Structure 1
Amino acid sequence: MKLLTVFITGAFLCLVLGGCSTTPEPSTGASPINPATGQTATTVIPTTASSTTAPPSSLPPTTAADTPASQAANLLTSLGRVGSDQPVRIGLVAHSASVIGIGRTIDVLNDADGIQLVRIFSPEHGLAGEADAGQAVADGTEPITGLPVISLYGVRRAPATRHLDDLDAVVYDLQDVGVRAFTYIATMGLVFDAAAAAGLPVFVVDRPNPQAGAVDGPVLDPGLESFISPYAIPLVYGLTSGQLGRLLVDDGYVDAGTNLTVVGPTAALGAPWRAPSPNLPTLESAWLYPAVVPLEATILSVGRGTTKPFSLIGAPTVDGRAMLDSLLTRDGLEVGLEAETFTPESIPGMAISPRYQGQAIVGVTLSTGAALRSPVRLAVELIDAAMDVSSDRSAIIDRPDVFDRLIGSSSVRAALIEDRSAAEIAASWTDEVNRFTERIERLRR
């Protein structure tokens, strides 16, 4: 009865407002996630700080959907319980970018009549968004509300049964980056599975995709599933968070019992940009992320430990100027390129021990004023340029197993080492990208 009351109430109110879409339970499906084992957390990451950086001037203007009145109202009314005087007990998956207009989603729910926010769940990087990549985060307390914060990136990757037994519904509100190799989509799937097992509906606050509609890169090969790349979708998948949630349910990536409601309308990607992780401080860095993240499995620094993460690449053993010269001979890269010398340093809240800490690197800085159309093709070009100026092409990718999981296929690495052209490599995933694009068209209408 608890499930039926909350779900029907949310669906009814969303229908009235025209602000939500409801996904029915599919008939089949199972989660393919094979999450990596988390480290034991030893310290509680602070939960108050937030990183906010002014975005490039090319951002679309703020729309009515960005105001707290429209977004907050749709969320609250979709959670409302008609004809009952009992508060709806909510668990919220959130981070520092979970803001509705000018208010934190935490406060919107905690201050609302008829709703009791019971606990908060935090993803990788913690609620404050200050934990380094891969750093385990301990449970803690949100200092303003005093609510418990349950980490989903420490001793556990999914809510335990005891964290859900006293809830009526789960709200998922994470700003993602539209890239398969970003752990929030694995967290989404595990939360869906846990909620379904507990008989709880899930409400996803729809968030925009910084990559716009771009779909690019290999569909993940079987056997490469992991917490950093959990689903058989392209590296850049072209869906908002709500659309992705519907894909996971409709196509059987998660428990078939998942009751999902997507709360909209999807906000414009308006100012200010709120960093979903500490090393994506600007919208430009998010736009460059899908082109640069595969380089994390190479000998190249991606700018961690600088003020321009995912905008700088280079290594002490790679001739940065020669790499730049190689890149400047190529067509269609979609980015500005310049030589730049940088020195990674320890930056608390961003990168504690960055690669090549304290070493000066002559590298290349990348710039763009918009989302890229073919970011994975650019990744191939960047790696190929580094290989071209190296005496051993195979030495550039120094973590081949991680590279394969990031890019989605071992064939890309093999083709790079064999010195095949970037155009030929990118053509290898064209058919599967076209099939995936056709498959998701129903979700993007």
Structure 2
Amino acid sequence: MAVRTGAQRLAEDPGLVPDGRLGLITNFTGVLPDLTPTSVALRASGVPLTALFGPEHGLRGTAQAGASEGEGVDPDTGLPVFDTYRRKGRALHDLFSGVDALLFDIQDIGTRFYTYIWTMYDCQQAAARLGLPFVVLDRPNPLGGVRVEGPMLQPGFESFVGRAPIPLRHGLTVGELALQLGTATVIPMEGWRRDTATTGLPWVPPSPNMPTPDTALVYPGTGLFEGTNLSEGRGTTRPFETIGAPYVDDRFVPALRALDLPGVSFRRTWFEPVFSKYAGQVVSGVQLHVDDPEMFEPVRTALEMLRVLNELYPDFALLPSLDKLWGSDSLRKALEAGDDPVELLPPATTPSSWVRPGVLLYEGDAR
């Protein structure tokens, strides 16, 4: 049986949210199991929506990374659409002047540097300052809710890819994150367990470079390659599963295979990105093939890849954005010193090791 999302529950019972003028923070991932947009379903059920608010990539998802669609009118509902992307403080407050409460319904992918959760955080903080109720319509974490990987964000490294101290692979749903990070009401899912990624729900690619669940699975690790001079596969059909650069040769894949990393195999590949790094150039690299999602450790795998690259290739270089992605400067400094970055990894753990009491909403092995 498919999971019943918070949006589906609200569409069936509009009394779950406050009366008054309601604004919905959403995008193309906000759909019911039959793929009806949440905004359309809620309007049809009598929920008094008066405005829609879109994140990075826009309400419809046509904008690439680092962009949004701007403002206008939603053709499906006739509601005004406002752009929240990169707005903070007074600029964000002014957007919410015409609503009495805010709802949030966007699909996250379980990784700290994916920006939708920080759109939620910024809007949640604005709602708190304005005295507006903030209601999250919860959705599954596609990575499951048991494993936590990678370091916490450290003070001084806050950005739009990490506003607050959470682990790199955080193990929470958006509703649980909202409870951890501030004040919110959550309409929880029914039928979801932490210890399974199976939901029965359709996969809607959450952004232009997150086409499949396989992409989401590797992203907590290979997303770090955005902070290097290797292509992270943007501009290909398998972003974040495909990594490469012009200087990568036939030594890279054998070196990775020799590590015998759990749950993953490596295949040498060549590709030509149509945009982003090395656009229009044929580059050599590797494609990750996840054989066993339960055993696969995306963050450790990426750190091993970075170590091998650092040892093999003088042209390998780090970009300033790596510190923000990692959440501190420790990874950059380790690589620059020739140290083993895998030693930076904290022990693997579970969500209950870092969240406040009362945050975890769902059963399944979270010890």
Aligned to 1:408: 327
The structure that has the greater radius of gyration is 1
Instruction: Tell me the distance in 1 between the aligned counterparts of 2:21 and 2:301.
Output: 46
- Displacement after TM superposition at 1:159 (Å): 6.3
Unaligned runs of 5+ in 2: 193-197
Instruction: Tell me the distance in 2 between the aligned counterparts of 1:140 and 1:156.
Output: 20
Return closer, same or farther for 1:220/1:139 CA change in 2, 3 Å cut-off: same
Compute the RMSD of aligned alpha carbons.
Answer: 2.4
Determine if contact 2:171/2:351 at 8 Å carries over to the other structure.
Answer: no
Describe the SS at the equivalent of 1:367.
Answer: strand
Q: Does 1:301 align with 2:234?
A: no
Return closer, same or farther for 1:158/1:240 CA change in 2, 3 Å cut-off: farther
Per-residue Cα deviation, 1:226-283 (whole angstroms, up to 9, x for no partner): 111211111111111111110002xxxxxxxx4x110122555334211111100101
Describe the SS at the equivalent of 1:314.
Answer: strand
Determine if contact 2:62/2:69 at 8 Å carries over to the other structure.
Answer: no
**2:308 aligned to which of 381, 385, 388:** 385
**TM-score normalized by the length of structure 2:** 0.88
Return closer, same or farther for 1:372/1:245 CA change in 2, 3 Å cut-off: farther
- Displacement after TM superposition at 1:155 (Å): 6.0
Instruction: Tell me the distance in 2 between the aligned counterparts of 1:409 and 1:140.
Output: 38
Q: Does 1:221 align with 2:154?
A: yes
Return closer, same or farther for 1:285/1:423 CA change in 2, 3 Å cut-off: same
Which structure 2 residues correspond to residues 349-364 of structure 1 after superposition, within 5 A? 353-364=275-286
Unaligned runs of 5+ in 1: 1-61, 82-87, 250-257, 346-352
Aligned to 2:48: 116
Aligned residues: 351
- Displacement after TM superposition at 1:77 (Å): 2.7
- Displacement after TM superposition at 1:425 (Å): 3.0
Aligned to 2:166: 233
Determine if contact 2:26/2:106 at 8 Å carries over to the other structure.
Answer: yes
Per-residue Cα deviation, 1:135-159 (whole angstroms, up to 9, x for no partner): 2432122122221111111666886
Instruction: Tell me the distance in 2 between the aligned counterparts of 1:335 and 1:439.
Output: 28
Instruction: Tell me the distance in 2 between the aligned counterparts of 1:164 and 1:417.
Output: 45
Q: Does 1:290 align with 2:220?
A: yes
Higher mean alpha-carbon deviation, 367-376 vs 190-199, is at 367-376
**TM-score normalized by the length of structure 1:** 0.73
- Displacement after TM superposition at 1:332 (Å): 2.6
Percent identity at matched positions? 36
Determine if contact 1:170/1:202 at 8 Å carries over to the other structure.
Answer: yes
Aligned to 1:73: 12
- Displacement after TM superposition at 1:388 (Å): 2.4
Instruction: Tell me the distance in 1 between the aligned counterparts of 2:66 and 2:6.
Output: 34
**2:337 aligned to which of 418, 425, 429:** 418
Instruction: Tell me the distance in 2 between the aligned counterparts of 1:165 and 1:299.
Output: 43
Return closer, same or farther for 1:306/1:372 CA change in 2, 3 Å cut-off: farther
Return closer, same or farther for 1:155/1:414 CA change in 2, 3 Å cut-off: closer
Instruction: Tell me the distance in 1 between the aligned counterparts of 2:324 and 2:257.
Output: 29
Determine if contact 1:158/1:191 at 8 Å carries over to the other structure.
Answer: no
Aligned to 1:92: 24
**2:210 aligned to which of 280, 292, 317:** 280
Describe the SS at the equivalent of 1:93.
Answer: strand
Determine if contact 1:315/1:361 at 8 Å carries over to the other structure.
Answer: yes
